Structure 1
Amino acid sequence: MTWLTDAQVIALWADAANLDPDVLALLLESAYDDCVAYLPDMEIEPDPIPKSWMLAQAYQAKSRYNALLAGSDGSVGTPENGLTLFPLDWQVKQLLRPKRGRPTFG
């Protein structure tokens, strides 16, 4: 299952157009599973799906793809210009469950 169409993903991540359609589908399904696992438990998905959830899925799919390119130490690129990849980036988490700006007292 996925919240995004291939066209929506390609609009957000241009390099996705160069991927094999089966690979793109696998990345989207995996990213969807990651996102749903992070969301609070819910019996049904909202209709319509929040745009931030869709964006989170696209970011996570791209992150999964980059993880395929990563070295054994989890970084992409040369040691001088490397990028460390994380399982679920803080930006994806923020899109799925945003922190509120108002403090609460317990």
Structure 2
Amino acid sequence: MTDQPSVPAPYGWHTVDTARIQWVDAMHLDDEQLEELLAAARIQCEAYAPAVVGEVPVNYRQAQLLQARNLWQAIKTDQGGDIGPDGYAVPVYAMDRVVKGLLRPKRGVPYVR
């Protein structure tokens, strides 16, 4: 880790420090790797989610963190989707339904009989 503080994320998105608090495995990444993952995840979330003005909602922040984790899983798997010497299969998705659900929650539709 470097002695320099991380660059603040705009409008309430996760920073290296806040991501490490909520994502235990982020401790294994150096600041630069984690910043890149968070930036890429933020870009993907912003492209998929409805635009917001001002502070980023909590669900967007959580989606960013989950997407960063998904990206990290995709990076560390081999071509067959396996991780590690034991060959555990891990499905890798561009953006899974949990992240999409956080960014665009399904709304209840009134049902009248």
| Category of TM-score, reference length = shorter chain | 0.7 to 0.9
Q: Any conservation in 2 of the 1:74–1:85 contact (CA below 8 Å)?
A: yes
Q: List, as ranges, runs of 4+ consecutive aligned residues in structure 1 with deviation greater than 6 Å.
A: none
How many residues were matched structurally?
A: 100
- State the Cα distance separating 1:15 from its structure 2 match: 1.2
How many angstroms does 1:88 deviate by? Answer: 0.2
Q: TM-score under structure 2 normalisation? A: 0.77
SS in 1 for 2:21: helix
Helix, strand or coil at the partner of 1:65: helix
- 1:54-93 Cα offsets, whole Å, 9 max, x none, are 00000000111111111213344555x4121100010000
Is 1:28 the counterpart of 2:38? The answer is yes
Give the distance between the partners of 2:104 and 2:56, measured in 1 at CA. Answer: 14
Kept in 2, the 8 Å contact 1:76–1:84? The answer is no
Q: Which amino acid aligns with 1:5?
A: T
Higher RCO structure (Cα 8 Å, ≥6 apart): 1
The equivalent residue for 2:14 is 4
CA RMSD of aligned residues (A): 1.9
Larger gyration radius, structure 1 or structure 2: 2
